[in-house]
Amino acid sequence: MDPRQASLFDDPAPGPPGFAYRPEVIDRDDEAALAEALAKLDLRAFEMRGYVAQRRVASFGRRYEGAGPGLEDGPPIPDFLLALRRKAATFAGLTPDELVHALINEYPPGAPIGWHRDRPAFGRVVGFSLLSPCVMRFRRPREARWERRSLTLEPRSAYGLAGEARSVWEHSIPPVAALRYSITFRTLA
């Protein structure tokens, strides 16, 4: 079979329009250094509307704190994340200064993140997945049912959400099998 031809079992579009993915963007040594630095952060259980999640987070730069509709200034993006922010900007065709928010998520084994779209105050999202793989699921309403897609985010990979993937589709991650960190950078809307 011609390798350019999809087989019957291939998913021709694993992510929705506006989703970008690139494996092995971070080398293993940099991943280990990032994980070591992330483990030293003051991570706190994620809480929204009275629900306390299993994952822990830290937020930097312009951030949404859940108390009101807008954004506020948080602590600056740590120096150890600035090279990664440059890498995120290059991946997304942006300048580093456009990425005004950084969110760290620590997923212990068994931790999920439910269906959601990122806050409308934010625009494009560029993320990095560290230490262990996870499945990223997407869904959007289609008539009387959900259209769904999913793919695996491998360790050291980068992904981007723009256009429909950012504004129309919801995304979630089912419970992870092993410790995982995600680092996401966001632009303003």
**pLDDT, tens digit (0-9, with 9 covering 90-100), for 63-83:** 776 555 678 899 999 999 999
pTM (2 d.p.)? 0.88
* Percent with pLDDT over 90 in the chain: 77
Per-residue pLDDT tens digits for 6-40: 444 444 457 999 999 999 999 999 999 999 999 99
Q: How far apart are CA 58 and CA 102, in angstroms?
A: 8
Quote the Cα angle for 74-76-82, to 5°.
140
Cα 134 to chain centroid distance, Å, stands at 11
Helices (H), the chain: 28-39, 82-92, 163-167
**pLDDT above 50 (res 4):** no
Ordered domains of the chain (ranges, CATH): 19-188 (2.60.120.590)
